[in-house]
Amino acid sequence: MKLKVTVNQTEYEIDVEVEDEKPEGLGPIIIGVNAGSNQIPTKASVSAVSSNAVVAPLAGSVARILVAEGDEIEAGQVMLILEAMKMETEITAPSSGTVARILVAPGEAVQGGQALIEF
């Protein structure tokens, strides 16, 4: 390939040889502040039920409550929705039963492990 270069109003013609280089594949992409020095688990597991209450598996705020005191519920039924970092998390009933008491209100901030609904 020939290039024309001007330096101090003097034109030069330069021959340039271009070699085809194979691009290297992407290496591992590490996201996080520790750059992979400490392995961070990809899944978090927090039990959402205690002996007689459904508890918050994470900190957030109560977006909606979908049951009322005295309601009969089925296992797996969505009872309420928590919002954390603009993401909604459905909290489901671990087993069938009756809602005894609702311990939170919509818009209320909750901490992980806090009781939400008693059976």
pLDDT for res 33: 54
In a domain, 25, yes or no: no
Phi first, then psi: give them for residue 105, nearest 5 degrees: -130, 155
Q: How far apart are CA 51 and CA 65, in angstroms?
A: 21
For residues 16 and 30, the answer to whether their CB atoms sit within 8 Å is: no
CATH of the domain at 97: 2.40.50.100
Low-confidence ranges of the chain (pLDDT < 50): 40-49
pLDDT for res 38: 55
Task: Tell me the residue range of the domain where 112 lies.
Answer: 53-118
In a domain, 68, yes or no: yes
For residues 89 and 57, the answer to whether their CB atoms sit within 8 Å is: yes
Q: What is the mean pLDDT of the chain?
A: 80
In a domain, 28, yes or no: no
Number of structural domains (the chain) is 1
- In the numeric block, the tokens 């901030």 are attached to 109
In a domain, 30, yes or no: no
List, for residues 28-56, the tens digit of each pLDDT value: 666 655 555 555 444 333 444 456 888 88
In a domain, 103, yes or no: yes
